[in-house]
Protein backbone atom coordinates (compact mmCIF):
# COMPACT_ATOMS: atom_id res chain seq x y z
CA UNK A 1 0.00 0.00 0.00
CA UNK A 2 1.47 3.32 -0.98
CA UNK A 3 -0.25 6.61 -0.16
CA UNK A 4 -3.83 6.95 1.04
CA UNK A 5 -6.26 4.26 -0.03
CA UNK A 6 -9.19 5.06 -2.33
CA UNK A 7 -12.23 5.02 0.03
CA UNK A 8 -14.49 3.60 -2.70
CA UNK A 9 -12.55 0.31 -2.86
CA UNK A 10 -14.85 -2.41 -1.49
CA UNK A 11 -13.69 -3.93 1.83
CA UNK A 12 -15.23 -5.47 4.96
CA UNK A 13 -18.67 -7.03 4.67
CA UNK A 14 -18.95 -5.76 1.07
CA UNK A 15 -16.54 -8.59 0.21
CA UNK A 16 -18.67 -11.31 1.76
CA UNK A 17 -21.83 -13.05 0.53
CA UNK A 18 -23.73 -10.86 3.02
CA UNK A 19 -23.54 -8.20 0.31
CA UNK A 20 -26.17 -9.07 -2.37
CA UNK A 21 -24.00 -7.52 -5.09
CA UNK A 22 -21.05 -9.72 -4.05
CA UNK A 23 -23.30 -12.76 -3.94
CA UNK A 24 -24.45 -12.11 -7.47
CA UNK A 25 -20.98 -11.49 -8.89
CA UNK A 26 -18.00 -11.55 -6.51
CA UNK A 27 -15.43 -11.41 -9.29
CA UNK A 28 -16.19 -7.86 -10.47
CA UNK A 29 -15.79 -6.57 -6.91
CA UNK A 30 -12.63 -8.64 -6.44
CA UNK A 31 -11.33 -7.07 -9.70
CA UNK A 32 -11.81 -3.61 -8.17
CA UNK A 33 -9.83 -4.61 -5.09
CA UNK A 34 -7.03 -6.16 -7.17
CA UNK A 35 -6.70 -3.19 -9.49
CA UNK A 36 -6.76 -0.65 -6.63
CA UNK A 37 -3.35 -1.79 -5.37
CA UNK A 38 -1.07 -4.68 -4.45
CA UNK A 39 -2.14 -4.53 -0.80
CA UNK A 40 -5.49 -3.17 0.37
CA UNK A 41 -6.09 -2.43 4.05
CA UNK A 42 -9.44 -3.71 5.34
CA UNK A 43 -9.71 -2.11 8.82
CA UNK A 44 -13.22 -3.36 9.56
CA UNK A 45 -12.12 -6.99 9.31
CA UNK A 46 -8.56 -6.36 10.56
CA UNK A 47 -6.76 -7.67 7.50
CA UNK A 48 -4.66 -6.78 4.45
CA UNK A 49 -5.98 -8.07 1.13
CA UNK A 50 -3.57 -9.25 -1.57
CA UNK A 51 -5.06 -10.13 -4.95
CA UNK A 52 -2.56 -10.04 -7.81
CA UNK A 53 -1.65 -13.51 -9.05
CA UNK A 54 2.13 -13.19 -8.70
CA UNK A 55 1.85 -11.76 -5.17
CA UNK A 56 -0.70 -14.37 -4.04
CA UNK A 57 1.39 -17.17 -5.51
CA UNK A 58 4.57 -15.91 -3.81
CA UNK A 59 2.83 -15.49 -0.42
CA UNK A 60 1.29 -18.99 -0.60
CA UNK A 61 4.80 -20.35 -1.13
CA UNK A 62 6.45 -18.18 1.55
CA UNK A 63 7.65 -20.54 4.29
CA UNK A 64 8.15 -17.70 6.77
CA UNK A 65 4.43 -16.98 7.16
CA UNK A 66 2.10 -18.71 9.61
CA UNK A 67 -1.55 -19.78 9.84
CA UNK A 68 -1.91 -20.56 13.55
CA UNK A 69 -4.43 -17.96 14.82
CA UNK A 70 -2.68 -17.93 18.23
CA UNK A 71 0.07 -15.93 16.47
CA UNK A 72 -2.33 -13.23 15.25
CA UNK A 73 -2.22 -9.79 16.88
CA UNK A 74 -5.17 -8.44 18.90
CA UNK A 75 -8.01 -7.18 16.68
CA UNK A 76 -6.83 -8.86 13.49
CA UNK A 77 -9.06 -11.08 11.38
CA UNK A 78 -7.36 -14.34 12.35
CA UNK A 79 -7.43 -13.47 16.03
CA UNK A 80 -11.14 -12.60 15.97
CA UNK A 81 -11.82 -15.71 13.92
CA UNK A 82 -9.99 -17.86 16.47
CA UNK A 83 -11.89 -16.35 19.38
CA UNK A 84 -15.09 -17.56 17.75
CA UNK A 85 -13.88 -21.07 17.07
CA UNK A 86 -14.02 -24.03 19.39
CA UNK A 87 -10.84 -23.90 21.44
CA UNK A 88 -11.02 -26.98 23.62
CA UNK A 89 -10.27 -29.45 20.83
CA UNK A 90 -7.00 -30.61 19.26
CA UNK A 91 -6.52 -28.02 16.48
CA UNK A 92 -6.55 -29.47 12.98
CA UNK A 93 -3.46 -29.09 10.82
CA UNK A 94 -5.30 -26.42 8.83
CA UNK A 95 -4.54 -24.07 11.77
CA UNK A 96 -1.10 -25.35 12.80
CA UNK A 97 2.41 -24.34 11.76
CA UNK A 98 5.64 -26.34 11.56
CA UNK A 99 6.85 -28.44 13.21
CA UNK A 100 3.32 -29.68 14.15
CA UNK A 101 1.90 -29.08 10.68
CA UNK A 102 4.74 -30.88 8.89
CA UNK A 103 4.52 -33.83 11.26
CA UNK A 104 0.75 -34.28 10.81
CA UNK A 105 0.95 -33.70 7.05
CA UNK A 106 3.73 -36.30 6.70
CA UNK A 107 1.62 -38.84 8.60
CA UNK A 108 -1.64 -38.25 6.74
CA UNK A 109 0.23 -38.45 3.43
CA UNK A 110 1.17 -42.03 4.35
CA UNK A 111 -2.50 -43.04 4.59
CA UNK A 112 -4.35 -40.74 2.17
CA UNK A 113 -2.18 -41.63 -0.81
CA UNK A 114 -2.59 -41.12 -4.57
CA UNK A 115 -2.88 -44.89 -4.79
CA UNK A 116 -5.72 -45.07 -2.25
CA UNK A 117 -7.53 -42.34 -4.20
CA UNK A 118 -6.98 -44.00 -7.58
CA UNK A 119 -8.25 -47.30 -6.14
CA UNK A 120 -11.60 -45.58 -5.58
CA UNK A 121 -12.03 -44.72 -9.29
CA UNK A 122 -14.40 -47.61 -10.23
CA UNK A 123 -16.47 -47.10 -7.10
CA UNK A 124 -16.70 -43.33 -7.73
CA UNK A 125 -18.18 -44.13 -11.17
CA UNK A 126 -20.71 -46.47 -9.55
CA UNK A 127 -21.70 -43.93 -6.90
CA UNK A 128 -22.29 -41.26 -9.58
CA UNK A 129 -24.46 -43.66 -11.56
CA UNK A 130 -26.41 -44.83 -8.51
CA UNK A 131 -27.28 -41.23 -7.64
CA UNK A 132 -28.45 -40.57 -11.19
CA UNK A 133 -30.53 -43.79 -11.25
CA UNK A 134 -32.61 -42.16 -8.54
CA UNK A 135 -33.27 -39.11 -10.76
CA UNK A 136 -34.71 -41.15 -13.62
CA UNK A 137 -38.32 -40.32 -14.53
CA UNK A 138 -38.24 -36.86 -12.96
CA UNK A 139 -38.65 -33.68 -15.01
CA UNK A 140 -37.04 -31.11 -12.79
CA UNK A 141 -34.35 -31.85 -10.25
CA UNK A 142 -32.32 -29.89 -7.73
CA UNK A 143 -28.87 -30.99 -8.84
CA UNK A 144 -27.31 -29.87 -5.54
CA UNK A 145 -29.54 -32.08 -3.37
CA UNK A 146 -29.73 -34.99 -5.81
CA UNK A 147 -26.08 -35.14 -6.83
CA UNK A 148 -23.51 -32.51 -5.88
CA UNK A 149 -24.08 -32.76 -2.12
CA UNK A 150 -24.30 -36.52 -1.58
CA UNK A 151 -21.65 -37.52 -4.12
CA UNK A 152 -18.40 -36.43 -2.36
CA UNK A 153 -19.82 -37.31 1.06
CA UNK A 154 -20.52 -40.88 0.02
CA UNK A 155 -17.06 -41.17 -1.57
CA UNK A 156 -15.11 -39.98 1.50
CA UNK A 157 -17.38 -41.85 3.91
CA UNK A 158 -16.74 -45.08 1.97
CA UNK A 159 -13.00 -44.38 1.93
CA UNK A 160 -13.01 -43.86 5.68
CA UNK A 161 -15.08 -47.00 6.11
CA UNK A 162 -18.20 -45.42 7.57
CA UNK A 163 -21.32 -47.57 7.63
CA UNK A 164 -23.61 -46.41 4.76
CA UNK A 165 -26.51 -46.31 7.23
CA UNK A 166 -24.71 -43.53 9.15
CA UNK A 167 -23.90 -41.37 6.14
CA UNK A 168 -26.85 -38.99 6.47
CA UNK A 169 -25.78 -38.19 10.06
CA UNK A 170 -22.26 -37.70 8.78
CA UNK A 171 -23.33 -35.13 6.22
CA UNK A 172 -25.43 -33.22 8.77
CA UNK A 173 -22.63 -33.13 11.32
CA UNK A 174 -20.09 -31.81 8.84
CA UNK A 175 -22.49 -29.25 7.30
CA UNK A 176 -23.43 -27.91 10.75
CA UNK A 177 -19.78 -27.76 11.86
CA UNK A 178 -18.60 -26.00 8.69
CA UNK A 179 -21.47 -23.49 8.84
CA UNK A 180 -20.12 -22.20 12.17
CA UNK A 181 -16.45 -23.17 12.09
CA UNK A 182 -15.68 -21.26 8.89
CA UNK A 183 -18.04 -18.34 9.43
CA UNK A 184 -16.71 -15.65 11.76
CA UNK A 185 -20.19 -14.04 11.70
CA UNK A 186 -22.14 -17.20 12.61
CA UNK A 187 -25.26 -16.58 14.75
CA UNK A 188 -25.66 -18.03 18.27
CA UNK A 189 -28.17 -20.56 16.87
CA UNK A 190 -25.74 -21.74 14.20
CA UNK A 191 -22.98 -22.01 16.80
CA UNK A 192 -25.17 -24.02 19.17
CA UNK A 193 -26.12 -26.40 16.36
CA UNK A 194 -22.44 -26.82 15.49
CA UNK A 195 -21.56 -27.55 19.11
CA UNK A 196 -24.17 -30.32 19.33
CA UNK A 197 -23.11 -31.72 15.94
CA UNK A 198 -19.46 -31.63 17.06
CA UNK A 199 -20.20 -33.60 20.22
CA UNK A 200 -22.24 -36.28 18.43
CA UNK A 201 -19.64 -36.53 15.71
CA UNK A 202 -16.75 -36.90 18.17
CA UNK A 203 -18.56 -39.63 20.08
CA UNK A 204 -19.24 -41.46 16.82
CA UNK A 205 -15.62 -41.22 15.66
CA UNK A 206 -14.20 -42.28 19.05
CA UNK A 207 -16.25 -45.48 18.81
CA UNK A 208 -15.13 -46.03 15.17
CA UNK A 209 -11.47 -45.59 16.20
CA UNK A 210 -11.79 -47.96 19.18
CA UNK A 211 -13.40 -50.61 16.96
CA UNK A 212 -10.51 -50.42 14.49
CA UNK A 213 -7.85 -50.48 17.20
CA UNK A 214 -9.46 -53.75 18.35
CA UNK A 215 -9.94 -55.17 14.83
CA UNK A 216 -8.20 -53.44 11.87
CA UNK A 217 -10.16 -53.08 8.63
CA UNK A 218 -9.25 -52.20 5.03
CA UNK A 219 -10.24 -48.56 5.34
CA UNK A 220 -8.78 -45.07 5.74
CA UNK A 221 -9.49 -44.81 9.49
CA UNK A 222 -7.40 -47.96 10.04
CA UNK A 223 -4.71 -46.64 7.64
CA UNK A 224 -4.52 -43.42 9.68
CA UNK A 225 -4.14 -45.40 12.92
CA UNK A 226 -1.28 -47.39 11.38
CA UNK A 227 0.39 -44.52 9.47
CA UNK A 228 4.04 -44.29 10.49
CA UNK A 229 6.71 -41.69 9.76
CA UNK A 230 10.16 -42.50 11.18
CA UNK A 231 8.70 -44.26 14.21
CA UNK A 232 6.08 -41.54 14.79
CA UNK A 233 2.31 -42.24 14.85
CA UNK A 234 -0.92 -40.26 15.26
CA UNK A 235 -2.55 -40.48 18.68
CA UNK A 236 -6.33 -41.02 18.86
CA UNK A 237 -7.14 -37.31 19.27
CA UNK A 238 -5.06 -36.49 16.21
CA UNK A 239 -6.76 -39.18 14.12
CA UNK A 240 -10.12 -37.80 15.20
CA UNK A 241 -9.14 -34.29 14.28
CA UNK A 242 -7.73 -35.42 10.91
CA UNK A 243 -10.90 -37.34 10.00
CA UNK A 244 -13.02 -34.29 10.86
CA UNK A 245 -10.76 -32.14 8.69
CA UNK A 246 -10.87 -34.53 5.72
CA UNK A 247 -14.64 -34.59 5.91
CA UNK A 248 -15.18 -30.89 6.38
CA UNK A 249 -12.54 -29.79 3.86
CA UNK A 250 -13.66 -32.32 1.32
CA UNK A 251 -17.44 -32.27 1.42
CA UNK A 252 -18.43 -28.67 1.01
CA UNK A 253 -15.74 -27.74 -1.47
CA UNK A 254 -16.16 -30.57 -3.97
CA UNK A 255 -19.94 -30.14 -3.81
CA UNK A 256 -19.48 -26.50 -4.75
CA UNK A 257 -17.01 -27.24 -7.54
CA UNK A 258 -19.57 -29.57 -9.12
CA UNK A 259 -22.45 -27.13 -8.58
CA UNK A 260 -20.61 -24.05 -9.84
CA UNK A 261 -19.09 -26.02 -12.71
CA UNK A 262 -22.45 -27.39 -13.91
CA UNK A 263 -24.06 -23.95 -13.54
CA UNK A 264 -21.32 -22.48 -15.72
CA UNK A 265 -21.73 -25.15 -18.38
CA UNK A 266 -25.51 -24.68 -18.42
CA UNK A 267 -25.31 -20.89 -18.66
CA UNK A 268 -22.68 -21.15 -21.43
CA UNK A 269 -24.41 -23.61 -23.80
CA UNK A 270 -21.63 -23.31 -26.41
CA UNK A 271 -19.18 -24.64 -23.79
CA UNK A 272 -21.56 -27.44 -22.80
CA UNK A 273 -21.91 -28.40 -26.44
CA UNK A 274 -18.12 -28.29 -26.91
CA UNK A 275 -17.56 -30.61 -23.95
CA UNK A 276 -20.18 -33.04 -25.27
CA UNK A 277 -18.39 -33.07 -28.64
CA UNK A 278 -14.88 -33.18 -27.19
CA UNK A 279 -14.75 -35.31 -24.03
CA UNK A 280 -10.94 -35.11 -24.23
CA UNK A 281 -11.34 -31.56 -22.82
CA UNK A 282 -12.80 -32.88 -19.55
CA UNK A 283 -9.69 -32.45 -17.36
CA UNK A 284 -9.03 -28.99 -18.80
CA UNK A 285 -12.69 -28.05 -18.29
CA UNK A 286 -12.40 -28.92 -14.58
CA UNK A 287 -9.30 -26.67 -14.29
CA UNK A 288 -11.24 -23.85 -15.92
CA UNK A 289 -14.11 -24.46 -13.46
CA UNK A 290 -11.60 -24.15 -10.60
CA UNK A 291 -10.18 -20.93 -12.05
CA UNK A 292 -13.46 -19.33 -13.11
CA UNK A 293 -15.54 -20.02 -10.00
CA UNK A 294 -13.56 -22.04 -7.48
CA UNK A 295 -15.24 -23.01 -4.20
CA UNK A 296 -12.74 -21.16 -1.96
CA UNK A 297 -12.41 -17.42 -2.65
CA UNK A 298 -10.01 -16.47 0.15
CA UNK A 299 -7.21 -18.18 2.07
CA UNK A 300 -4.94 -16.54 4.62
CA UNK A 301 -1.55 -16.21 6.27
CA UNK A 302 -0.14 -14.38 9.32
CA UNK A 303 3.14 -12.42 9.55
CA UNK A 304 5.50 -13.62 12.29
CA UNK A 305 8.03 -10.78 12.06
CA UNK A 306 8.31 -7.20 10.83
CA UNK A 307 8.56 -7.40 7.07
CA UNK A 308 7.39 -6.32 3.67
CA UNK A 309 4.49 -8.16 2.07
CA UNK A 310 3.87 -7.42 -1.62
CA UNK A 311 5.82 -4.18 -1.20
CA UNK A 312 3.98 -3.11 1.95
CA UNK A 313 5.79 -2.93 5.34
CA UNK A 314 3.91 -4.88 8.02
CA UNK A 315 4.13 -5.51 11.76
CA UNK A 316 4.18 -8.94 13.40
CA UNK A 317 0.87 -10.82 13.73
CA UNK A 318 -0.97 -9.20 10.83
CA UNK A 319 -3.67 -11.08 8.89
CA UNK A 320 -3.12 -11.34 5.16
CA UNK A 321 -6.22 -12.29 3.18
CA UNK A 322 -5.29 -13.92 -0.10
CA UNK A 323 -7.94 -13.29 -2.70
CA UNK A 324 -7.80 -16.57 -4.61
CA UNK A 325 -10.81 -15.48 -6.67
CA UNK A 326 -9.14 -12.17 -7.49
CA UNK A 327 -5.83 -13.82 -8.45
CA UNK A 328 -7.59 -16.30 -10.73
CA UNK A 329 -9.07 -13.37 -12.69
CA UNK A 330 -5.82 -11.42 -12.95
CA UNK A 331 -5.62 -10.10 -16.53
CA UNK A 332 -1.81 -10.03 -16.16
CA UNK A 333 -2.03 -13.81 -16.36
CA UNK A 334 -5.20 -14.71 -18.26
CA UNK A 335 -6.64 -13.16 -21.39
CA UNK A 336 -10.39 -12.44 -21.06
CA UNK A 337 -10.56 -13.70 -17.47
CA UNK A 338 -14.34 -13.19 -17.33
CA UNK A 339 -14.83 -15.63 -20.18
CA UNK A 340 -15.61 -19.23 -19.24
CA UNK A 341 -13.49 -21.12 -21.77
CA UNK A 342 -12.99 -24.85 -21.25
CA UNK A 343 -10.42 -24.97 -24.07
CA UNK A 344 -8.28 -22.23 -22.48
CA UNK A 345 -4.59 -23.11 -22.68
CA UNK A 346 -2.08 -23.06 -19.81
CA UNK A 347 -4.62 -22.57 -17.02
CA UNK A 348 -2.79 -21.46 -13.89
CA UNK A 349 -4.90 -20.98 -10.79
CA UNK A 350 -4.60 -20.86 -7.03
CA UNK A 351 -7.97 -22.47 -6.29
CA UNK A 352 -6.19 -25.13 -4.19
CA UNK A 353 -3.89 -22.65 -2.41
CA UNK A 354 -0.18 -23.46 -2.51
CA UNK A 355 3.19 -24.15 -0.93
CA UNK A 356 3.44 -26.55 1.98
CA UNK A 357 -0.30 -26.19 2.63
CA UNK A 358 -1.41 -26.94 -0.96
CA UNK A 359 -4.76 -28.72 -0.75
CA UNK A 360 -4.19 -32.31 0.34
CA UNK A 361 -7.42 -33.41 -1.32
CA UNK A 362 -6.76 -31.88 -4.74
CA UNK A 363 -6.25 -35.25 -6.51
CA UNK A 364 -9.49 -36.60 -5.03
CA UNK A 365 -11.42 -33.40 -5.82
CA UNK A 366 -10.20 -33.48 -9.43
CA UNK A 367 -11.08 -37.15 -9.84
CA UNK A 368 -14.56 -36.66 -8.35
CA UNK A 369 -15.23 -33.58 -10.46
CA UNK A 370 -14.11 -35.25 -13.67
CA UNK A 371 -16.17 -38.40 -13.07
CA UNK A 372 -19.13 -36.40 -11.75
CA UNK A 373 -19.32 -34.07 -14.76
CA UNK A 374 -18.69 -36.87 -17.26
CA UNK A 375 -21.46 -39.01 -15.76
CA UNK A 376 -23.93 -36.11 -15.55
CA UNK A 377 -23.43 -35.27 -19.23
CA UNK A 378 -23.66 -38.90 -20.31
CA UNK A 379 -26.73 -39.79 -18.27
CA UNK A 380 -28.63 -36.52 -18.80
CA UNK A 381 -28.30 -35.70 -22.52
CA UNK A 382 -31.09 -33.08 -22.45
CA UNK A 383 -29.96 -31.26 -19.35
CA UNK A 384 -31.10 -27.59 -19.24
CA UNK A 385 -31.16 -24.86 -16.65
CA UNK A 386 -34.67 -24.20 -15.22
CA UNK A 387 -35.91 -20.61 -14.65
CA UNK A 388 -34.71 -19.57 -11.22
CA UNK A 389 -33.10 -16.90 -9.12
CA UNK A 390 -29.78 -18.45 -8.05
CA UNK A 391 -29.32 -18.57 -4.28
CA UNK A 392 -25.79 -18.67 -2.87
CA UNK A 393 -24.49 -19.93 0.47
CA UNK A 394 -23.45 -17.20 2.88
CA UNK A 395 -20.28 -18.62 4.48
CA UNK A 396 -17.61 -15.95 3.76
CA UNK A 397 -14.60 -17.13 1.75
CA UNK A 398 -16.64 -19.89 0.11
CA UNK A 399 -18.58 -19.81 -3.15
CA UNK A 400 -21.35 -22.33 -3.62
CA UNK A 401 -25.00 -22.70 -4.59
CA UNK A 402 -27.85 -23.56 -2.22
CA UNK A 403 -29.85 -25.01 -5.10
CA UNK A 404 -29.49 -25.66 -8.82
CA UNK A 405 -32.79 -26.55 -10.44
CA UNK A 406 -32.43 -28.24 -13.82
CA UNK A 407 -34.74 -29.82 -16.40
CA UNK A 408 -33.57 -33.31 -17.26
C1 LIG B 1 -12.63 -28.51 -5.25
C2 LIG B 1 -12.40 -28.93 -4.05
C3 LIG B 1 -11.41 -28.31 -3.11
C4 LIG B 1 -10.90 -27.03 -3.06
C5 LIG B 1 -11.19 -25.86 -3.99
C6 LIG B 1 -9.99 -26.98 -1.94
C7 LIG B 1 -9.25 -25.86 -1.57
C8 LIG B 1 -8.33 -25.82 -0.57
C9 LIG B 1 -7.57 -24.63 -0.19
C10 LIG B 1 -7.68 -23.27 -0.85
C11 LIG B 1 -6.77 -24.98 0.86
C12 LIG B 1 -5.81 -24.03 1.61
C13 LIG B 1 -4.47 -24.05 0.94
C14 LIG B 1 -3.57 -22.87 1.28
O15 LIG B 1 -3.96 -21.96 2.04
O16 LIG B 1 -2.44 -22.83 0.74
C17 LIG B 1 -7.02 -26.37 1.15
C18 LIG B 1 -6.40 -27.09 2.14
C19 LIG B 1 -6.74 -28.38 2.47
N20 LIG B 1 -7.64 -29.20 1.80
FE21 LIG B 1 -8.72 -28.74 0.18
N22 LIG B 1 -9.98 -28.21 -1.33
C23 LIG B 1 -10.82 -29.05 -2.02
C24 LIG B 1 -11.07 -30.38 -1.74
C25 LIG B 1 -10.51 -31.08 -0.73
C26 LIG B 1 -10.74 -32.48 -0.45
C27 LIG B 1 -11.62 -33.41 -1.29
C28 LIG B 1 -10.03 -32.79 0.67
C29 LIG B 1 -9.91 -34.08 1.42
C30 LIG B 1 -10.68 -35.11 1.33
C31 LIG B 1 -9.33 -31.58 1.08
C32 LIG B 1 -8.47 -31.49 2.15
C33 LIG B 1 -7.70 -30.40 2.47
C34 LIG B 1 -6.79 -30.37 3.60
C35 LIG B 1 -6.55 -31.49 4.59
C36 LIG B 1 -6.18 -29.09 3.60
C37 LIG B 1 -5.15 -28.56 4.60
C38 LIG B 1 -3.76 -28.77 4.03
C39 LIG B 1 -2.67 -28.31 4.97
O40 LIG B 1 -2.91 -27.47 5.86
O41 LIG B 1 -1.55 -28.82 4.82
N42 LIG B 1 -9.64 -30.58 0.21
N43 LIG B 1 -7.97 -26.87 0.27
> Which residue's C-alpha comes closest to atom 32 of ligand 1?
361
Which domain CATH number covers 380? Answer: 1.10.630.10
Number of domains in the chain: 1
361 C-alpha to ligand 1 centroid (Å): 6
105 lines ligand 1 (CB under 6 A): yes
Is residue 324 included in any domain, yes or no?
Answer: yes
pTM for the full model? 0.95
Question: Is residue 6 a part of any domain in this protein?
Answer: no
Residue 358 alpha carbon to ligand 1 centre in Å = 7
Residues 6+ apart with CB under 8 A from 48: 1, 39, 40, 41, 42, 309, 312, 314, 318, 319, 320, 321
> Which residues form the domain of 342?
12-85+93-407
Residue 91 CA neighbour count, 13 Å, CB half? 14
Is 129 part of any domain? Answer: yes
Say yes or no: CB of residue 93 within 6 Å of ligand 1.
Answer: yes
Q: How many whole angstroms separate alpha carbon 408 and alpha carbon 405?
A: 10
Distance between CA 33 and CA 50 in Å, rounded? Answer: 9
Closest residue to atom 17 of ligand 1, CA basis: 359
The bridge status of strand 298-303 relative to strand 405-407 is unpaired
CA–CA separation, 147 vs 134, rounded Å? 10
**Is residue 4 a part of any domain in this protein?**
no
pLDDT tens, per residue, the chain with 408 residues = 545 678 889 999 999 999 999 999 999 999 999 999 999 999 999 999 999 999 999 999 999 999 999 999 999 999 887 765 555 567 889 999 999 999 999 999 999 999 999 999 999 999 999 999 999 999 999 999 999 999 998 999 899 998 878 877 877 887 777 766 667 777 888 888 888 888 888 899 999 999 999 999 999 999 999 999 999 999 999 999 999 899 888 788 999 999 999 999 999 999 999 999 999 999 999 999 999 999 999 999 999 999 999 999 999 999 999 999 999 999 999 999 999 999 999 999 999 999 999 999 999 999 999 999 999 999 999 999 999 999 999 988 999 999 999 999
Mutate to test the pocket of ligand 1, among 249, 259, 261, 296 (most ligand atoms within 8 A of CB): 249
CA distances from 315 to 158, 247, 319, 342 (A): 46, 35, 10, 42
> Ligand 1 within 6 A of 275 CB?
no
CA of 184 to the centre of ligand 1 (A): 19
Phi/psi at 19 (5° precision):
-90, 115
190 part of a folded domain: yes
Q: Residue 7: inside a domain, yes or no?
A: no
Q: Is 325 in the pocket of ligand 1 (CB under 6 A)?
A: no
Establish whether residue 294 lines the binding site of ligand 1, counting it when its CB lies within 6 angstroms of any ligand atom. yes
Alpha-carbon distance of 47 to 211, in angstroms, equals 44
Protein residue with its CA nearest to atom 35 in ligand 1: 360
Amino acid sequence: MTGPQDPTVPTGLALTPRNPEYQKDPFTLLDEVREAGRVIHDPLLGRYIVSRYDDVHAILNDRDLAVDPRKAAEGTFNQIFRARREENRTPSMLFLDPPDHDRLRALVTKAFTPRSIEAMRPRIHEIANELLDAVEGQETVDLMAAFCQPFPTIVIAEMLGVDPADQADFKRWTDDSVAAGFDPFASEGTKKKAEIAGEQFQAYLRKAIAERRAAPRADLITALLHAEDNGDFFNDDEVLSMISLLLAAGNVTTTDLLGNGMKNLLTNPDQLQLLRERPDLLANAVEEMLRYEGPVTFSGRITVDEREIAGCPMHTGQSIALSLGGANYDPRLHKDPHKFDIAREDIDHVAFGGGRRYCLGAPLARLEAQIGIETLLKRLPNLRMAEQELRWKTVPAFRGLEQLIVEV
